[in-house]
Amino acid sequence: MDAIAETERLTDAPVGRAHHVLARSLYRELRGNGYTPAQILALSAEMVSLVTSDYGAVDVADNHP
C-alpha cells in the first residue's frame, strides 16, 4: 500500500464525537442482546488484535517492495 493510500485509510475513520457515539451505540446494542461486560471486553480485545494484525501487514508490505 502506498503512502497516500495509507493516509487515506487512517483518515477514513469517523472523527470527534462520532467515535464515542458509535462505541456507545454498539455497547448498548450488545448489552441489549444479552452480552455480558466480560464478553464485550473479550470481543473488544479480539477486534484490537485484528486491527493490530491488519496494520502490521500494511507495515510489512510497505517495507518490502
Amino acid at 63: N
pLDDT, tens digit, for every residue of 21-59? 999 999 999 999 999 999 999 999 999 999 999 887 665
User: Residues with Cβ < 8 Å from 61, sequence gap 6 or more?
Assistant: 1
Amino acid at 21: V
- Tell me which residue has cell 442482546: 33
Give the global pTM. Answer: 0.61
Of 56, 52, 47, the residue nearest 1 (C-alpha): 56
Supply the pLDDT for residue 46: 97
- Delimit the domains of the chain by residue range: 3-63
